Amino acid sequence: MAELSKILDALYEGTLNDVAWDQSLVAIADLVRGSAAYLFAFNPQNGQVLRDENHRGDPKVLEDYRAYWTYQDPRLPAFLRAEVGCPATEGTMLDIRKWRRSAVFNEFLVPVDSPHFMPVWLNKSASKAVTLSIQGTRRRGPFELADVSALKELAPHLRRALMIRDRLESLRIRADALAQTLDRARFGVIILDSAGRLVETNYVADKLLSSRDSGVRRKADGTLEVLGLAGIQLSRLLAAGRSSPLRGLPLMELKRPSGRPLSALVAKLPVARTSWVGADPTWMLLLFDPDRRLEVSADLIQTDLGLSMREAHVAALLASGANLREISQHLRISIHTARHHLKAILRKTDLRSQSDLIRRIASGPAALATPSDSAAPQY
């Protein structure tokens, strides 16, 4: 009982911790004297392995099975008849005589010393079926009724923990996708809680917060500090927001020691269910830097507008805010040649002016280049 309790603790801790998840599945294999545990997601229609996890098994064995043997494994169609949560063994699901004459048994499982197995379905649908398979060596011998009973007792917890892991992973994927999208934005995004502590920031906001002359910074206690009159305005806004939410989107000007002022758009986030422990996102600040150059991809410009690579570099530099003299210096060409490239670009794109070209690039796919310190042209 104590051993089962430890396995369950590790299993549910594993919903958030990959190390604990691996330890729990290895512990389940040890409980029934198995050599390894493999987690598979199959396409039931053709036997293709959609995803797998290896817990103490030989990676080469799993690689070979995924690449070749899964498509001719007679166990899968036989095992598909088993119910979810009910473990099976070779003796309960196969004709042993036929099984021991099969290629997968003699040419794969016996040479890698994994002839015995005990799988259990954790989920099964028409398009995807998930199974945990405990492997056994020749010395261990076939799995017995007591082993089946032990795994069956754990199966509901396995299914529940796997579902929790899957949901959390889906949320992480969505959160990562959203974060990557925000990092591509040309303005800073800062999420604050009701006390003014920073909850989330995107790439541009991080650059502003780390700059000494941006007028905004992250204090040691995790709160946002805004210099000057805008800081007083923001403090009053946060204080008022605690008792009576303000309507509209207040726009503030953030002065800084050097450079033109930042513009900050402040929005109150919709009221959501309060978390039990963590900070609650309450305010969103959008920071616009008039001195920030637009970062664009010359490769995408070339494809999108049908330009030569040299013309695409000229267009990218124009879109980033460079003038023809700066472009000529950066590309080491004469101003006359830079003008020639610009005329060729306008002719090929049927645009009338340099400003039309910049608007076309800013509204096209080239403006979605991932921001980075090296992405912006240097001149």
- Is 310 within 8 Å of 327 (Cβ atoms)? no
What pLDDT is stored for residue 244 in this prediction? 40
Taking all residues of the chain, what is their mean pLDDT, rounded to a whole number?
Answer: 90
One domain, residues 151 and 126? yes
Please check whether residue 373 lies inside any domain of the structure. Answer: no
One domain, residues 79 and 165? yes
Amino acid sitting at position 351: L
Q: How far apart are CA 311 and CA 317, in angstroms?
A: 10
One domain, residues 192 and 239? yes
- Looking up residue 137, the CATH number of its domain turns out to be 3.30.450.40
What pLDDT is stored for residue 291 in this prediction? 84
Please check whether residue 181 lies inside any domain of the structure. Answer: no
Q: Is the pLDDT of residue 114 over 90?
A: yes
Structure tokens at 29: 């294999």
Please check whether residue 374 lies inside any domain of the structure. Answer: no
pTM of the model: 0.72
Strands 129-136 and 188-192: unpaired
**pLDDT single digits (tens) 56-89:** 999 999 999 999 999 899 999 999 999 999 999 9
**pLDDT single digits (tens) 207-234:** 999 998 888 999 999 999 998 888 988 8
What pLDDT is stored for residue 369 in this prediction? 60
One domain, residues 34 and 105? yes
What pLDDT is stored for residue 378 in this prediction? 40
What pLDDT is stored for residue 371 in this prediction? 53
- Is 330 within 8 Å of 298 (Cβ atoms)? no
Q: Is the pLDDT of residue 172 over 80?
A: yes
Q: Where residue 39 falls among pLDDT bands split at 50, 70, 90?
A: very high
Q: Give the structural domain span for 120.
A: 2-175
- Looking up residue 354, the CATH number of its domain turns out to be 1.10.10.10
Q: Which of 45-54, 137-146, 289-298, 311-320 is predicted with the least confidence, judged by mean pLDDT?
A: 289-298
One domain, residues 57 and 159? yes
Percent of the chain with pLDDT over 70: 94
- Is 14 within 8 Å of 53 (Cβ atoms)? no
One domain, residues 71 and 209? no
What pLDDT is stored for residue 286 in this prediction? 94
Residue of 6, 37, 39, 38 whose CA lies nearest to 20: 6
One domain, residues 123 and 269? no
Q: Is the pLDDT of residue 26 over 60?
A: yes
- Out of 119, 152, 175, pick the residue that ends a domain: 175
Please check whether residue 376 lies inside any domain of the structure. Answer: no
Query: Rounded to the nearest 10 degrees, how much is the dihedral formed by the CA atoms of 66, 72, 74, 75?
Result: 0
Q: How many domains does the chain have?
A: 3
- Out of 240, 268, 288, pick the residue that ends a domain: 288
